[in-house]
Amino acid sequence: MITVMGISARNHGINIDGATLEVTKHMAADPRRISAIDIRCIMPHRAYTPREKEILEKAGRTCPVAYSLHPDIEQRVEFVWGE
């Protein structure tokens, strides 16, 4: 996710240096498998424009890995804009 966001940021001249992700997996009991993942994307303290936020969020939410996960795995993505 952060790789795709970085590519998009570079293509649009947006600085995301210092961005981090926190990922938490949730397990189901029967059968034992991953049932959900929480992804918290923490963006550095900068004044991002609404358009820049839109570009970066779209890139993050449409990354190929997200589309590769089984559709039963709930994906909860949160963006934290450090303004």
Continuous H helices in the chain: 2-12, 50-61, 64-68
Average confidence score pLDDT of the chain: 94
- Residue 19, classified by CB atoms within 10 Å of its CB into exposed (0-12), middle (13-18) or buried (19+), is buried
Q: What does the pLDDT read at residue 82?
A: 82
Is the pLDDT reported for residue 7 higher than 90?
A: yes
Q: What does the pLDDT read at residue 46?
A: 85
Q: How confident is the model at residue 45 (pLDDT cuts 50, 70, 90)?
A: confident
**Average of per-residue pLDDT across 54-59:** 96
pLDDT in tens, 9-36: 999 999 999 999 999 999 999 899 999 9
Is the pLDDT reported for residue 83 higher than 80?
A: no
pTM of the model: 0.87
Domains and CATH numbers, the chain: 2-81 (3.30.300.20)
Continuous H helices in 13-63: 50-61
